[in-house]
Chains A and B, each alone.
Chain A
Amino acid sequence: MVIHKNTMAISRRGASTAKWEKFVKYFKKNYDLFLMILPAILVILIFNYLPMYGIQLAFREFRPEKGLTGGEWVGLKYINKFFTSFQFKNLIVNTLSISLASILIGFPIPIVLAILFHQIKNEKLKKIMQTTVYIPHFISTVVMVGMLNVFLAPNTGIVGHFLRSIGLKPVNFMGMPEYFVLVYVLSDVWQHAGWNSIIYIAALSSIDTQLYDAAMIDGANKWQVIWYIEIPGIIPTIIILLVLSMGRILSVGFEKAFLMQNSLNLKASEVISTYVYKIGITSHQYSYSTAIGLFNTVVNFIFLTSMNYLAKKFTDTSLW
């Protein structure tokens, strides 16, 4: 038995040196390939992996002279501080309501749009529709929120004028916490649903044309084609994107929430990312802010991996 094990180990070592020699040979011949990818490796190392190393700051006291890694260990002090803080519940509720509403409303609409556009047989009309719905995607978040501010101004904005014209009282949408999620999600749909439909349009156009021919011979109508051919055809794409969006469950985009925030709607607009900014950048509590950020990242990561696991188990489609 022992001898057998040894020979195995030796042969494995032999295999790995052979592999190594092969690698060295490849490297000598193709060293330029390694040089070509080196900048990318370094940039990711410095700006993505080095900050990950700095996560330990969440468990240490920040000392300016110690830099990234911080000073003495404090264990879960800052994590506990966050869990017991009076803001905790509010932040989680706000963040979750925005991202769940985004998934509930924002996730299906691009699918519907893609199926809709796929039915347009007139190429010119199709082009016009697609170009139109892509345009808002290029507007910056600052401009988008600026547009919301002028459009929703109760006395001078078009929405206020419209409400008055149909006999309703104008509402100060930007100043009321109860409307924050609605305004946030609907403006997001307006801005990005068209763009997000691109991937489904691509998936739809890669469906095997034989399926359509067969359906036509069977006398299927358009509803049946959509229901029995097109939707099943894009299910894998839908699942992948759903897994990805569940992986961002606690990541409400900082910029939009931050820019839409004002003293009147703060009760609903303070989300984890804006709080991390306030604690960290504005009031310099680096360790505490790192801890909150870490909590955010870990929850997202857990959601992503478990959704991916479920998707793999039940549908055979997964990210990895």
Chain B
Amino acid sequence: MIRSSNREDTIFNILLIIICVFIFFIIAYPLYFIVIASFSKPEYVAQGRVIFYPLGFNLEGYRRIFNDVRIWIGYRNTILYSVLGTAVNLIVTLPAAYVLSRKDFPLRNSLMKYFVFTMYFSGGLIPTYLVIRRLGLIDTIWVFIIPFCLNVYNLIITRTFMETNLPTELFESASLDGCSNFKFFVIIALPLSKAVISVIALYYFVAHWNNFFTGLIYTTKQELVPLQLVLRQILIVNQVFLEGSGLGGVGGDFAQMLADIIKYGLIIVSTLPLLIIYPLVQKYFEQGVMIGALKG
């Protein structure tokens, strides 16, 4: 009675393949184009002749990027904020998630409400700004690290993961052996939660790396500027050249073409670190995110 395939299912499978190829092309081609354009001769890109592979191979864009001191400063700052910030995020999130995963913890439900409410209601931009200003965080590196170092969504994912993966009996037997809560958390709970820790560490790291808002609102100091603000200057405001040479006339045309090449290269240089980290964490997604996301 079991039919392995029929005509409708064949049509279905062919359609499936066609749609998948289409989706793959739509997503991948713009990314691929950025790569080939960044290695091509500026004129060829501007004339639309670069389509399938780099034309007039050329590293001028990258040379300019590596000689631009703004990008170096932004890069350095963003690495600092991302690494330090993620560490602080984890130090705050993980113990809290563990406590909330403990079914015997008496304030469990009320604290959960306390945290979740902030997902749906907020003070808004200006009251938040005034609080952060009052705390003296403006124009310090701490404004990138301390405010909002707990993401409630990540807290819920982690709590749910720990709830499902740390059996209560495990704690009870450890407790009988005289193991304190903190010790149990460090020695047993954390190693068993590797999957979810990798996932939320990735979320936090990406959020820091791509953070534009904090830099825009809370810093004016040049030496604190994160990468995303530098990117905005170059990619969007079009201040590509440090010396600010004029973008007009015939020379200006060439300057703008070169500027576009620099932009393509910069998109790659600024996004590459995340694309390198992502595959390392990807294998944990199923385990980490899905459990947390579904039950959370």
Contacts and interface: CB of A to CB of B under 8 A. Distances in A.
Contacts of A141: 210, 212
Interface stretch (A5-13, A41-49, A83-91, A310-318): A41-49
A247 B212 CA distance: 24
B209 interface: yes
Given A30-B181, A223-B12, A255-B213, A40 B150 contact: yes
B177 interface: no
A176 B260 CA distance: 21
Contact of A40 (B92, B126, B129, B278): B92
Given A23-B106, A57-B126, A135-B278, 18 more contacts: A32-B180, A34-B99, A41-B96, A43-B92, A50-B131, A51-B124, A132-B24, A138-B271, A140-B228, A142-B236, A143-B267, A165-B48, A221-B6, A221-B8, A221-B12, A247-B120, A281-B125, A293-B124
A55 B270 contact: no
A82 interface: no
A151 B125 contact: no
Q: At the interface, is chain A mostly helix, strand, loop or mixed?
A: helix
Interface residues of B, number: 94
B128 to A, nearest CB: 4
A19 B122 CA distance: 33
A255 B24 contact: no
Contacts of B294: 199, 202-203, 206, 237
A74 interface: no
Nearest to A129: B20
A150 B131 contact: no
Interface in B25-48: 26-28, 30-31, 33-34, 45-46, 48
A276 B124 CA distance: 9
B93 A146 contact: no
**On chain A, which size bracket covers the interface?**
35 or more
Contact of B19 (A68, A116, A149, A223): A116
B120 A39 contact: no
A68 B28 contact: no
Contacts of B9: 221-222
B134 interface: yes
Given A202-B293, A223-B8, A297-B121, A46 B46 contact: no
A219 B3 contact: yes
